[in-house]
């Protein structure tokens, strides 16, 4: 679809508009006939409402003063009340007399109306001795007025005060909402981008994801040299989605992109847009994109976009007036407003690209998706070198060997590993981080911190057989991951651990390997059953692993002849909502039971046939508590795969 550049407003035109001109409506129009602009609807302004309210309030106050104040009477009526000794108090200022009667009397000339407070004017020609008459009637003559009547200015202040307080309250609410909107998005105060000079992250600080760097370099080149692309009619991608597992470096890559291009960088988490008040998130989105356009070229980075960008269809969809949907709609609208020449590029990161709304991923919004995978062995070594730039290393520190021992670890995991090793070296009062520090830190990260628990001897022996069962089956299974360490020292929630890691990075798993994983996971329970003829609850985590692998093999990966080559179990949610029938689900359950029963029988058979090897490993475990890879294979009388490889290379 061709883009209509004429429908996009210009910031310069808005700034140069005369003050008397009516501001444009908050929508875009196209194709209207000349001279037929939409007419604004008449509306009551806030000033008119305040004026009407003020006049009503002022009139009510004045009427109240008239009704509740002293009544004007003639001097003759006043003299009559003095003669009747009905005057209680009087006050005189000049010829004006105010007072209060002892009891109310009818108002002369008005039926049904009485008065008690009065005011009158004493004629200048009156020659009566008024003070003597008042004293004879026992009236009190005061020097202060009996009725403090409000003047016009006082009524004015009283009538204005409520509206003034109301206006000040709304101004305070508006400023507070504005500060919350800006502060919630950028961390408090006025929203400011990260200035180019303060960005310290470039592609030199990013390692292990070379293929991603090469793909995003096109964005950097466009921001640096836009004329080269515009000359050929090309435009930059409006949005780039970075998808990958947690800790793979998506945020770091976005910062490095802005740093490499030397442009302002706006960063916001999608969860910061969401508020209890509907509409605040959309307002924050408008503010964010407006700020980025002012300093373009710039990069906007939205982290965890799946928080607001989940699909709006399906059983888990939210309502049409939900704050998340309004915020998502505003993001889509803002990205549609790009012509591709503003120089504003939106980067977003997510761990769940499969749950994002299709409208967010279509061309013209997030034009491309870049998958950020965990690094391979070479990438892990490069990442370790980046994180150890400021860490003094001992001569025996071997980062390549450490990278080989950390398959599956992400950049965040490796950064944490280096930090743990540095903390260990500092506690040991060393001047540099040695290979032993890295090994101990890796053991702590992978297996958990050791607990000082004194176990009874029978419990230690049962735990030793449990872990030896895992280790022996891992060594007996063809193609299984080599056993790196076996320990009966309690760590975390476990009483013992067995660590097995692959020699190289694996990207696919066949049926034999997965069945071997199940057999090895059932080795602890099978060893307890073989030796003690009973099982304990120590196999809880093993059974969870077995169930997860078996259900995935049968229900998702098509590794069962009975269920067939179909995906019966979705990644999340009720499989029935995805169209899976009860008959298929029953078949999945039966196949999972059959597979695990066969693997358990295989584990029992192997342990029974190699009982001498099992007892030998247990003997060494009870003696030393922890066995490294060469020691485990030596105890079982088997060849260490690493030693065999080295020997073959030597021959």
Q: Which residues contact 547 (CB under 8 A, 6 or more apart)?
A: 592, 596
Q: Is 629 in the active site?
A: no
The three state secondary structure string of 29-64 is: CCCCCCCCCCCCCCCCCHHHHHHHHHHHHHHHHHHH
User: Residue 481, Cα to own-chain centre: how many angstroms?
Assistant: 38
Pairing of strands 71-72, 114-121: parallel
H helix intervals, 454-610 = 457-476, 511-521, 523-532, 540-555, 582-609
Exposure of 249 in the CB half-sphere (CA atoms within 13 A): 28
Q: Would you state the torsion angle of the CA atoms of residues 460, 463, 468, 471, taken in this order, to the nearest 10 degrees?
A: -130
Q: Which residues contact 649 (CB under 8 A, 6 or more apart)?
A: none
Closest to 642 measured CA to CA, from 375, 401, 403: 401
- CA distance linking residue 420 with residue 37, whole number of Å: 67
The three state secondary structure string of 346-402 is: EEEEECCHHHECHHHHCCCCCCEEEEECCCCHHHHHHHHHHHCCCCCECCCCCHHHH
| Per annotation, catalytic residue among 291, 467, 528, 591 | 467
C-beta neighbour count of 20 within 10 angstroms: 5
- CA distance linking residue 595 with residue 68, whole number of Å: 96
User: How many residues make up the chain in this entry?
Assistant: 651
Catalytic residue ranges: 467
């Amino acid at each position: 679809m061709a883009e209509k550049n004429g429908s996009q407003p210009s910031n310069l035109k808005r700034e140069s508009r005369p003050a008397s001109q009516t501001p444009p409506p908050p929508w875009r129009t196209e194709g209207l006939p000349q001279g037929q602009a939409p007419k604004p609807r008449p509306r009551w302004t806030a000033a008119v409402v305040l004026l009407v309210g003020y006049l009503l309030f002022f009139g009510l106050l004045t009427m109240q003063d008239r009704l509740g104040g002293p009544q004007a009477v003639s001097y003759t009526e006043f003299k009559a009340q003095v003669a009747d000794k009905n005057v209680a108090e009087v006050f005189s200022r000049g010829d004006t007399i105010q007072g209060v009667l002892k009891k109310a009397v009818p108002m002369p000339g008005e039926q049904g109306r009485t008065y008690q407070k009065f005011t009158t004017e004493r004629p200048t020609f009156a020659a009566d001795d008024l003070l003597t008459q008042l004293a004879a009637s026992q009236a009190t003559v005061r020097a202060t007025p009996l009725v403090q009547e409000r003047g016009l200015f006082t009524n004015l202040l009283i009538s204005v005060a409520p509206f003034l307080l109301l206006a000040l309250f709304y101004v305070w609410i508006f400023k507070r909402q504005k500060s919350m909107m800006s502060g919630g998005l950028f961390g408090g105060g006025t929203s400011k981008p990260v200035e180019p000079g303060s960005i310290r992250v470039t592609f030199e600080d990013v390692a292990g994801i070379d293929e991603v760097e090469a793909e995003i370099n096109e964005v950097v080149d466009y921001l640096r040299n836009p004329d080269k692309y515009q000359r050929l009619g090309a435009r930059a991608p409006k949005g780039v989605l970075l998808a990958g597992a947690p800790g793979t470096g998506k945020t770091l890559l976005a910062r490095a992109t802005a740093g490499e291009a030397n442009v302002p960088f706006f960063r916001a988490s999608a969860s910061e847009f969401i508020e209890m008040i509907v509409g605040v998130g959309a307002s924050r989105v408008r503010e964010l994109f407006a700020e980025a356009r002012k300093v373009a070229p710039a990069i906007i980075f939205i982290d965890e976009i799946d928080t607001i960008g989940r699909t709006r269809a399906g059983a888990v969809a939210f309502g049409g007036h939900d704050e998340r949907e309004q915020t998502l709609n505003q993001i889509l609208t803002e990205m549609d407003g790009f012509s591709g020449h503003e120089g504003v590029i939106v980067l977003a990161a997510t761990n769940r690209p499969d749950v994002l709304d299709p409208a967010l991923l279509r061309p013209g919004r997030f034009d491309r998706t870049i998958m950020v995978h965990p690094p391979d062995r070479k990438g892990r070594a490069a990442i370790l070198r980046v994180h150890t730039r400021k860490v003094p290393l001992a001569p025996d520190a071997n980062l390549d060997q450490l990278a080989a021992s950390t398959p599956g670890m992400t950049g965040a995991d490796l950064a944490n590993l280096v930090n743990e090793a540095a903390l260990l070296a500092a506690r040991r009062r060393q001047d540099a981080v040695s290979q032993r520090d890295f090994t101990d830190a890796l053991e702590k990260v992978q297996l958990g911190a050791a607990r000082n628990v004194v176990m009874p001897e029978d419990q230690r022996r049962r735990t030793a057989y449990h872990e030896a069962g895992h280790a022996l089956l891992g060594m007996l299974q063809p193609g299984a991951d080599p056993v790196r360490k076996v320990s009966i020292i309690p760590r975390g929630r476990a009483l013992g651990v067995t660590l097995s890691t692959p020699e190289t990075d694996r990207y696919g798993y066949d049926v034999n390997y997965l069945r071997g994983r199940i057999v090895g996971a059932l080795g602890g329970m099978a060893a307890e059953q073989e030796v003690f003829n009973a099982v304990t609850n120590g196999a809880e985590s093993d059974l969870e692993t077995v169930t997860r692998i078996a259900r995935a093999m049968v229900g998702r990966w098509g590794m069962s002849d009975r269920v067939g080559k179909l995906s019966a179990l979705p990644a999340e949610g009720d499989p029935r909502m995805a169209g899976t029938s009860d008959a298929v689900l029953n078949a999945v359950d039966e196949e999972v039971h059959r597979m695990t029963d066969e693997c358990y029988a295989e584990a029992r058979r192997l342990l029974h046939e190699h009982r001498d090897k099992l007892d030998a490993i247990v003997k060494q475990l009870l003696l030393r508590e922890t066995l490294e890879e060469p020691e485990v294979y030596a105890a079982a009388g088997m060849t260490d795969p690493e030693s065999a490889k080295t020997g073959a290379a030597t021959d």
